[in-house]
Amino acid sequence: MDLTSTHPYWPLRNGLIRTYPPLEEDADCEILILGAGITGAILAERLTRDGWNVLVLDCREVAHGSTAASTAILQYEIDTHLVDLIEMIGQPAAERAYLLCLQSIDTLENLAAKIPCDCGFRRKQSLYLASREDDVPILERECAARRACGIDVEFARGPQLSARVPVPHPAALISRGAASCDPFRMAHGLLELAMGGGARVHDRTGATRIECTNDGVLVQTDRNFRVRAKKILFATGYEATTRLRKNVTRLKSTYAMVTQPLGDADIWCDDWLVWETARPYLYFRTTADRRLLAGGRDDNFRSPPRRDAKCHRQAGRILKQLEPLFPDLRLEIEYAWAGTFGETEDGLAYIGPSPDHPNAYFALGYGGNGITFSVIAADILSDHLRNRHNSDAHIFRFGR
Ligand SMILES: Cc1cc2nc3c(=O)[nH]c(=O)nc-3n(C[C@H](O)[C@H](O)[C@H](O)COP(=O)(O)OP(=O)(O)OC[C@H]3O[C@@H](n4cnc5c(N)ncnc54)[C@H](O)[C@@H]3O)c2cc1C
C-alpha cells in the first residue's frame, strides 16, 4: 500500500537518524512485532521492559510508514464526541475510552523523558473551536459530559474566548491534557530503548507469508529467511487491513503542510493544538523549529495517485484557511505532503487478539489520534501476553 506521498515531512526534517540491519538469517523469538512505526516502537519498548524476547521487522525503513507523515497532535479528544460515543457504546465504556486517552498523554510524556534523544515532546493545551454558531450548544453539551467524568475542560464563549486567543470563532473547549511531538524521532528513540533491553530491530525486511497455528507463528521474509515466534503482533498500521477478513476501517486521504520557520515572530498558537467542529476539520500547531504545521481537507477516497495529484492544491486551501487567523504573519508553504489514514465507525482503535488466527494480535490505532491509541494498545497487549485480565480490553476488541 502506498501510505504517503513521495517524501513525507519528518524523515526529510531529521535525515537518517540511525540504520537498522535487514534480517539476513533465520531467527527465533518470543514476540515478533511486525511494523516499526510509532506503534511498533511503543510496543517494542513496553514488551522488552516486560521481559519478553522481542524481534521487530519492517518492510520499509523504520518509521517510514504513516508515522513519517503524522502531524503528531497528541490529544485525549477523539474524533467522536464523548456525547456521541456514549450513545454508541454506553456511558461507562465511552468515559473510560476518553480517560484512557487522557492517561496516554502522561505515558507518552514519561516515555519521551526516557528517550536518549530530544523527540520534541511538548505539553500544550487543546483548543477545540466551534466552527459556527450552530455548533456552540454541541460544545456546551460536550463540556458537561466530559466534566461529569472528571476531565478538566473549560467552555469559553465570545469575549471570554477572544481574551485568550485571537480567533473569530463563537466558542471553544479548552483542555489542558494535550501535547505534540516529532513522531519519527520518538519512534527511533523508543526502539533504541527497546534495543537497550535486548530487542532486535530489522528494517527493509518484509513478512511475505505468515502461518499462525496453536503452536506458534512461522514467518517467511522477503529475503528468504524464516522467523519462528510464540506470538505475532501486527503493528502494521493501515496495511493491516489486508490481514483482516472483516473490514474495520474506512481508508481516506489527508493532507498536511508546514510553513517556513517563523523566527522570533509572536505565534499566538505556540502553546496550543487547535482544531474545530467542522468535518473534515482544519487543525494546526507549531513545531519545535517554529513553523506552523497544519492539516485537514480530508478526501473520502484512498487512491494514492489521485491523493498525491491533489496534494499541493489541498495544501494551498489549508493555507487559505490559516491566513485569516494569523493576519500579522506572512505564511508561505515550505513543504506539503499527503497520506492515507483510516477511521472506524465509533472513532476507537481495534486492539486485541486476531478474530481470525491463533497467537496473533493487532494494535491498530485508527482515527485522528492514532498515537494515543498505540499507548493503550501497549497496556492491553502487555496484559494479554501475560494472561492477565485487562478490564479495558473489551472497549477496543474486534467484533464489538
Ligand atoms: C497526514 C497524517 C496526519 C496524522 N496526524 C495525526 C495526529 O496528529 N495525531 C495522531 O495521533 N495520529 C495522526 N495520524 C495517524 C498516525 O500517524 C498513525 O496512527 C500512526 O502513525 C500509525 O503508526 P503505526 O506505527 O501504527 O503505523 P505505520 O507508521 O504505518 O507503521 C506500520 C509499519 O508496518 C510496516 N509493515 C506493513 N506491512 C508489513 C509487512 N508485511 N512486513 C513488515 N513490515 C510491514 C510498514 O512498513 C510500516 O512502517 C496522522 C496520519 C496521517 C497520514
First to last CA, the chain: 27
**Strand residue runs (E) in 163-249:** 171-180, 200-202, 207-213, 216-221, 226-234
Which protein residues are within 6 Å of ligand 1, measured from CB? 3, 34-40, 57-60, 64-67, 69-73, 206-207, 235-237, 239, 254, 256, 295, 339, 341, 365, 369-372
For residue 65, report the distance from its CA to the centre of ligand 1, in Å: 5
For residue 87, report the distance from its CA to the centre of ligand 1, in Å: 29
Flag the least confident range among 106-110, 246-250, 276-280, 336-340.
246-250
The pLDDT assigned to 88 comes to 98
What pairing do the DSSP bridges indicate for beta strands 54-57 and 200-202? Answer: parallel
For residue 321, report the distance from its CA to the centre of ligand 1, in Å: 26
Residue-wise pLDDT for 121-160, tens only, equals 999 999 999 999 999 999 999 999 999 999 999 999 999 9
Residue 42, amino acid: I
Residues 249/261, Cβ–Cβ less than 8 Å: no
Q: What percent of the chain has pLDDT over 90?
A: 92
Q: Which atom of ligand 1 has the smallest separation from the CA of 57?
A: 43
Superfamily of domain 19-69+184-248+347-396: FAD/NAD(P)-binding domain (3.50.50.60)
In the block, residue with C-alpha cell 487567523:
325
Domain boundaries, the chain: 19-69+184-248+347-396, 250-343
The pLDDT assigned to 166 comes to 97
Residue-wise pLDDT for 361-389, tens only, equals 999 988 778 999 999 999 999 999 999 99
Q: What CA–CA distance (Å, rounded) separates 222 from 258?
A: 36
Residues 377/365, Cβ–Cβ less than 8 Å: yes
Best of 66, 186, 275 for a ligand 1 pocket test (most atoms within 8 Å of beta carbon): 66
pLDDT exceeds 90 at position 359: yes
pLDDT exceeds 80 at position 183: yes
The pLDDT assigned to 241 comes to 80
Residue-wise pLDDT for 32-42, tens only, equals 999 999 999 99
Q: What percent of the chain has pLDDT over 70?
A: 100
Residue-wise pLDDT for 186-234, tens only, equals 999 999 999 999 999 999 999 999 999 999 999 999 999 999 999 999 9
Class of domain 250-343: alpha beta
The pLDDT assigned to 352 comes to 97
For residue 261, report the distance from its CA to the centre of ligand 1, in Å: 26
Q: Is there a common fold for 19-69+184-248+347-396 and 250-343?
A: no
